[in-house]
């Protein structure tokens, strides 16, 4: 937006961009703010055919522009009712979904336990609010985040005021919505939660089923409508009984008062009230997503910026893959996550991708320290400090190790030296091809062959043009961070699913590549491989529509065409249509 453009012309251009994506901007869906000559425009558009099965309302998409405060203000003005629902219900319901009864729910003891969990849930919400205040989480937030949150709050107040009412959105609840989950995970993953509420590890359930891949260079096939490379990711997370009805794409176009770019335009898969992104792509063709990783290298003392906020930050300020990667490395972080990054090559340049395996910010990761309390007979089967120092897969920088497409150095040594003994210790089935490039540790979603978290996961892909990730780290040294006794007990029931998803996605990508480079249509099918038609039993615990006929999509599934700067996402209910946004059409 560096070139002068009248507000009228801008509105006309933006409405046409929405038209091209099958959205309609109605008269009441345009908001303006700012001084004369520096007006900012916000828009909400409704899809012409894609509707939410439950609410019957059309899917929405938003466009906001300006400085961080202005973008937040416009979002608050446009989406106050949805922001209200998110701040009042989402985090509360997500935390409740993580609490798990361990006795028969119909028994007298089970009913008493459920009442205790509900009481504990209330305590937990209070603990999070108190910790956000006491631990000064706001100081770790970027100035831009603070300004945008302030803008959202003021926009919500004005939206309600113009309707002669008072908004129920509270500023501190916006902070809880945007930073509360990371704070909770920092104390759950490490076991610190025990000092706050009287729950055993058995009462916690990990809400994860995230997958991602990047298909680059020779692995992709361009067609008339799609260039590639392709970045696919699903963030299969609890909807808190809210997200499925309010999820949306938001186009952010940051500009200064003089019209020059403050940072990069971004299209974000998100929900109103979130400043962060489940997945996002910028105008330079750099994209990112995030997968949950239960590990003990976390800290609640300085939780910092993580997960969705980190995705938005690194993409809005990362013009290249290297820039985005370094934003993550240099940030103050407090929680373990996988950040999957991909970027389109410029003209003759190569497409690129990596997985930033990141824990809390620290000078050096004390890998071996996380297994010091593991029972001695098992600890003896794990690599000692001398072995780790001699066989490094990579250096760790500020609590981060970066995985690139292709083989991971030293990983095969760990697998050959330690894995068979660990399988024997746990008396688990180990298939002869379990660590091969197309092998499976669990051949079906129902098998339970992983020795809890105590093993070194194969990378398998070995292709310079493909990278994939689920909910476990591949760098062998980092695997030790998830082997702390409490952390293992929290995560162990989910490791079989995590490994099966990785192996299944790996196999499907390789099988598709056997027949040539992957098209956009094939890539969309690959990232949607867990859909109920393929694996109906996988979704047996999903929430359903009120009439019981339609399954809720936990989170969202997205495919980015980085060359075309487009994203297509599926969210809400499985019967709902996919929705597409072409970012480049919204930019001047």
Please, which residues have CB within 8 angstroms of residue 356's CB and are 6 or more apart in sequence? 325, 328, 329, 338, 339, 340, 341, 400, 402, 403
Check pLDDT > 50 for residue 1: no
- What pLDDT, on the 0 to 100 scale, is given for residue 105? 60
- Please, are residues 23 and 61 in contact by the beta-carbon 8 Å criterion? yes
pLDDT band at 130 (very low <50, low <70, confident <90, very high): confident
Please report how many Cα atoms fall inside a 13 Å half-sphere around the Cα of residue 511, on the Cβ side. 11
Residue 302: pLDDT band (50, 70, 90) is confident
Of 65, 273, 316, 83, nearest to 178 by C-alpha is 273
Write the pLDDT tens digit of every residue in 530-563.
999 999 988 888 999 999 999 999 999 999 999 9
For residue range 334-344, list pLDDT tens digits in order.
999 999 999 99
288 contact partners, CB below 8 Å, separation of at least 6: 277, 279, 280, 281, 311, 314, 315, 324, 339, 340, 341, 342
The pLDDT-based confidence of 2 (bands split at 50, 70, 90) is: very low
pTM: 0.95
Per-residue pLDDT at 313: 96
Asked whether residue 86 carries a pLDDT value surpassing 90, the answer given is: yes
Of the listed ranges 182-186, 278-282, 400-404, 429-433, the one predicted with least confidence: 182-186
What does the alpha-carbon distance between residue 360 and residue 405 come to, in Å, rounded to a whole number? 24
How far is it, in rounded angstroms, from Cα 487 to Cα 50? 41
Kindly state the average pLDDT of the residues 515-537. Answer: 96
pLDDT-based confidence at residue 107 (cuts at 50, 70, 90): low
Q: Using the predicted structure, report yes or no on whether residue 524 has a pLDDT greater than 50.
A: yes
Q: What is the mean pLDDT of the segment spanning 171-184?
A: 92
Angle at 144 between CA 142 and CA 149, to 5 degrees: 100
- Quick one: average pLDDT of 188-206? 87
pLDDT at 246 over 80: yes
Tokens coding 289: 């997503």
State residue 347's pLDDT score.
63
Least confident of 154-168, 205-219, 495-509: 205-219
Asked whether the predicted pLDDT for residue 173 surpasses 90, the reply is yes
Per the model's pLDDT, the better-predicted residue between 417 and 538 turns out to be 417
The residues spanned by each domain of the chain are: 10-212+237-287+309-321
pLDDT band at 208 (very low <50, low <70, confident <90, very high): low
Q: Which of 216, 235, 274, 251 is nearest to 580 (CA)?
A: 251
Read off the pLDDT of residues 433-448 as tens digits, 9 standing for 90 and up: 999 999 999 999 999 9
Quote the CA–CA distance of 148 and 154 in Å, as a whole number. Answer: 10
Q: Which pLDDT value is given to residue 106?
A: 63
Rounded Cα distance between 37 and 59, Å, is: 32
What digits encode the pLDDT tens for the residues 444-483?
Answer: 999 999 999 999 999 999 999 999 999 999 999 999 999 9
Confirm if 478 and 414 have CB atoms less than 8 A apart.
no
Among residues of the chain, what percentage have pLDDT more than 90? 81
pLDDT tens, residue by residue, 349-402: 899 999 999 999 999 999 999 999 999 999 999 999 999 999 999 999 999 999
| Pairing mode, strands 248-254 and 58-66 | parallel
CB 212 within 8 A of CB 509: no
The pLDDT value given to residue 98: 85
Nearest to 338 by CA among 353, 358, 322: 358
* Choice between 1 and 561, residue whose per-residue pLDDT is larger: 561
Strand 23-24 relative to strand 400-403: parallel, antiparallel, unpaired?
unpaired
Q: Over the stretch 151-170, which tens digit does the pLDDT of each residue have? A: 999 999 999 999 999 999 99
């Amino acid at each position: 937006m560096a070139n002068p453009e009248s507000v009228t012309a801008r509105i006309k251009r933006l409405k046409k961009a929405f038209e091209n994506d099958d959205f309609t901007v109605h008269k009441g869906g345009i908001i303006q703010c700012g001084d004369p000559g520096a007006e900012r425009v916000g828009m909400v558009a409704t899809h012409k055919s894609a509707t939410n099965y439950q609410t019957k309302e059309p899917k929405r998409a938003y466009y906001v522009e300006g400085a961080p405060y202005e973008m937040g203000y416009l979002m608050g003005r446009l989406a106050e009712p949805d922001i209200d629902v998110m701040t009042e219900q989402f985090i509360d319901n997500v935390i409740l979904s993580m609490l798990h009864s361990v006795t028969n729910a119909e028994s007298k003891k089970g009913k008493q336990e459920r009442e205790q969990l509900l009481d504990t849930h209330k305590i937990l919400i209070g603990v999070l609010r108190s910790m956000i205040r006491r631990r000064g989480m706001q100081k770790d937030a970027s100035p831009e985040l603070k300004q945008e949150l302030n803008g959202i709050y003021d926009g919500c107040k004005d939206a309600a005021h113009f309707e002669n009412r008072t908004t129920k959105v509270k500023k501190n609840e916006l902070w809880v919505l945007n930073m509360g989950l990371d704070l909770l995970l920092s104390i759950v993953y490490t076991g610190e939660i025990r000092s706050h509420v009287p729950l055993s590890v058995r009462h916690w359930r990990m809400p994860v089923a995230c997958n991602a891949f990047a298909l680059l260079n020779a692995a992709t096939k361009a067609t008339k409508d799609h260039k590639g490379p392709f970045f696919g990711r699903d963030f299969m997370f609890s909807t808190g009984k809210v997200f499925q009805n309010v999820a949306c794409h938001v186009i952010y176009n940051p500009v200064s008062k003089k019209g020059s770019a403050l940072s990069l335009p971004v299209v974000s898969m998100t929900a109103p009230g979130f400043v962060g992104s489940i997945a996002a792509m910028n105008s330079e063709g750099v994209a990112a997503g995030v997968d949950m990783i239960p590990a003990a290298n976390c800290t609640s003392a300085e939780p910092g910026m993580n997960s969705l906020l980190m995705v938005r930050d690194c993409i809005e300020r990362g013009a290249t893959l290297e820039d985005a990667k370094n934003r993550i490395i240099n940030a103050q972080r407090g929680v373990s996550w996988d950040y999957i990054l991909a970027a389109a090559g410029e003209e003759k340049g190569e497409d690129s991708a990596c997985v930033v395996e990141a824990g809390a910010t620290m000078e050096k990761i004390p890998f071996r320290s996380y297994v010091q309390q593991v029972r001695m007979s098992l600890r003896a089967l794990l690599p000692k400090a001398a072995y780790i120092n001699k066989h490094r897969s990579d250096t760790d920088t500020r609590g981060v190790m970066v995985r690139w497409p292709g083989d991971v150095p030293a990983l095969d040594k760990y697998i050959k030296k330690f894995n068979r003994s660990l399988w024997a210790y746990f008396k688990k089935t180990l298939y002869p091809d379990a660590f091969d490039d197309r092998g499976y540790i669990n051949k079906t979603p129902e098998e339970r062959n992983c020795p809890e978290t105590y093993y070194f996961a194969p990378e398998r892909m070995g292709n310079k043009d493909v990278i994939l990730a689920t909910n476990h780290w591949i760098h062998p040294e980092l695997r030790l961070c998830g082997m702390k006794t409490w952390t293992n007990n929290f995560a162990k029931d989910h490791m079989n699913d995590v490994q099966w998803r990785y192996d299944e996605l790996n196999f499907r990508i390789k099988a598709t590549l056997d027949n040539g480079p992957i098209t956009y249509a094939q890539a969309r099918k690959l990232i949607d491989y867990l859909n109920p038609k393929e694996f109906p039993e996988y979704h047996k615990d999903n929430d359903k529509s009120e009439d019981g006929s339609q399954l809720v999509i936990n989170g969202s599934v997205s495919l980015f065409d980085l060359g075309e700067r487009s994203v297509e996402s599926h969210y809400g209910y499985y019967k709902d249509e996919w929705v597409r946004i072409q970012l480049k059409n919204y930019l001047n």
